[in-house]
Structure 1
Amino acid sequence: MADFAECWELGDLPGHTLTVMLFKDVANSSELRDAVQGGSLSPESALANAALVPDALVLRAAAHKACVAASRGALRTRSLHAELVFGLSGSKHIGETLTRYGISPECRHVLAARFDAAPGEAAALAELVAGTPAPLSELPSLADAPLLTKYLKITKEELAIGSMAAAQLVRIAARDC
């Protein structure tokens, strides 16, 4: 699993780690979505549409916001993992964001993330996803630029001076302002 899993230490929130795995060509997206919606996904994890995460930094920013919200007792969703998916968007509409950025039946590429995962939990999560493991460095090549532009309302002028990931990061950071 070392070739496709990464574990990040969130420096300003001691004790939290985020294990992240990228899967391409996932065949059981519908089944996974049903498990997430039914609360039966074990281990509990965040499953996001990788096509809407153009850079690992975007995921890290959303994870940071989720951890800060949890530490303040201010989660807007039911769990820390749902908060991570919610954090990927600049929108304040929880249901819409979870539908768009979370796993859907049509989702071909999936980011699976688990906070504070034990080694066995990471392996169990990897076994749940019927897809090809890939390194996170492939994330930018999987981005769906037209869909991100539509969802985030990114202008041509904005992209002329920055990247798709930068535009998404600005929206993540500014949502609560």
Structure 2
Amino acid sequence: MEYKFDDFPGRTLHILLFEQVANSKFLLELLQSAKLVPEVALMNAALIPDGFPLLAAAHSALLTQSRGQLRSKTLHSELVLNYAGSKHITESFRRIGVGNDTAYLLLARFDATPDEMHAARALVDGTEVALTELEARADRDLIQKTFKLTAQELQVSSLADAIVFRQAVSAC
């Protein structure tokens, strides 16, 4: 799936979703050693209830980059940091990013060429599934725990809205 950003003409975000990922430990090692080619954001898809909070985090990453104020080393790591709604980079990657045993994975790449998307798909040893799977497969309990969402919040807003609220508060 490709998303375009009206506020950033020519900028795009390509998103792929995988299940039954068998090489997440290898992907994490590549990421940690800065040898992941092409550069991508890798996230635990169980923590993503739909595309809205991901796109909000992506927009924030592009805005931060346009101001020359990235808090992390790359635009893709900034996406993970912004999605986590935290100012702590290491903690954000530990909680939201790919882990040794992540079997349900979201891969995102800014401004990808067709060749880069082909290479990104080849990185993951798993089955690609439609992004429409996100809502049905979101781990509500894990999301609530990770983002410290209360039952009262979820009575008046969706999981996605609550996550975006956390992202907005952390950006202040």
TM norm. shorter chain > 0.5: yes
Matched, 1:135 2:139: no
What is the match of residue 152 of structure 2? 157
Shift of 1:98: 1.1
For 2:67 and 2:79, how far apart are their aligned partners in 1? 15
Q: Does 1:95 align with 2:90?
A: yes
Question: Which aligned segments of 4 or more residues in structure 1 are displaced greater than 3 angstroms?
Answer: none
Who is 1:3 aligned against? none
Letter of the 2:20 partner, please give it: D
- Please list the CA deviations of residues 86-130 of structure 1 after superposition, one character each: whole Å capped at 9, or x if unmatched: 111222211101111110012111111111101000011001101
The secondary structure found in structure 2 opposite 1:175 is helix
1:33 aligned onto 2:4 = no
1:53–1:88 contact (8 Å) kept in structure 2:
no
Match of 1:59 among 50, 54, 58: 54
Cα deviation for residue 70 of structure 1 reads: 0.4
C-alpha distance in 1 between matches for 2:49 and 2:137: 7
Residue 158 of structure 1 aligns with an amino acid whose one-letter code is E
- Structure 1 residues 122-172: Cα deviation after superposition (integer angstroms, max 9, x where no partner): 011001101111111101122111111112111111111111111101111
Which residue of the partner structure matches residue 7 of structure 1?
2
AA at the equivalent of 2:160: A
Task: Normalising by structure 2, report the TM-score.
Answer: 0.97
CA RMSD of aligned residues (A): 0.9
- The correspondence for 2:167, drawn from 148, 172, 175, is 172
- Structure 2 distance, partners of 1:108, 1:77, is 25
Structure 1 length-normalised TM: 0.94
CA–CA distance in structure 2, aligned partners of residues 88 and 176 of structure 1:
11
Q: Is 1:82–2:88 an aligned residue pair?
A: no
CA distance in 2, matches of 1:87, 1:24: 23
Q: For 2:90 and 2:59, locate their aligned partners in 1 and report how far apart those are by CA, in whole Å.
A: 20
